[in-house]
Amino acid sequence: MTTAKKLHVRHDDVVVVISGTDKGKKGKVLSAYPKTGRVVVEGVRMVTKHQKPRNAGAPGGIIHKEAPIDASKVLLLCSSCSRPVRQGYKILEDGTKVRVCKRCGASFDN
Ligand SMILES: [Zn+2]
């Protein structure tokens, strides 16, 4: 086991950016990096890269790509509240820990 800190968001979560130039943008988490505390969110912090052709599979040219942002800058979007919310945790009867909306109590997991 590594000492990676656990992120409050994970792959496939829908989040809203709450600070920075992309504030207010909504997107799906494409990847999460618990080790660095960063996430890549679909359509957020797009950067342009000028890539040289390497091989047949990577033709190069100008590519647009999402750059990782700090996970503390995003909040989960609650589908019941339709707004970004803080999350809490709830232990189910079978011992499973799920993430819930602090506002309405809706579960983000399963
Ligand atoms: Zn909610």
Q: What is the pLDDT of residues 30-40, one digit of tens each?
A: 999 999 999 99
Residue 90 Cα to ligand 1 middle (Å): 14
Gap between the Cα atoms of 44 and 29, Å rounded? 10
CATH number where 66 lies: 2.30.30.30
Give the E-state strand segments of the chain in sequence order.
14-17, 26-33, 38-41, 46-51, 61-66, 69-70, 74-78, 83-85, 87-91, 97-101
Q: What is the pTM of this model?
A: 0.83
Residue 25 Cα to ligand 1 middle (Å): 18
Gap between the Cα atoms of 53 and 92, Å rounded? 51
Whether 92 is in a domain gets the answer no
Residue 19 Cα to ligand 1 middle (Å): 20
Q: Which two tokens stand for residue 100?
A: 């819930």
Per-residue pLDDT of 63-89, as tens digits, reads: 899 999 999 999 999 999 999 999 999
Query: In this model, does residue 52 exceed pLDDT 60?
Result: yes
Residue 109 Cα to ligand 1 middle (Å): 13
Residue 82 Cα to ligand 1 middle (Å): 7
Domain with 26 in it: 14-77
- What is the amino acid identity at position 9? V
Whether 58 is in a domain gets the answer yes
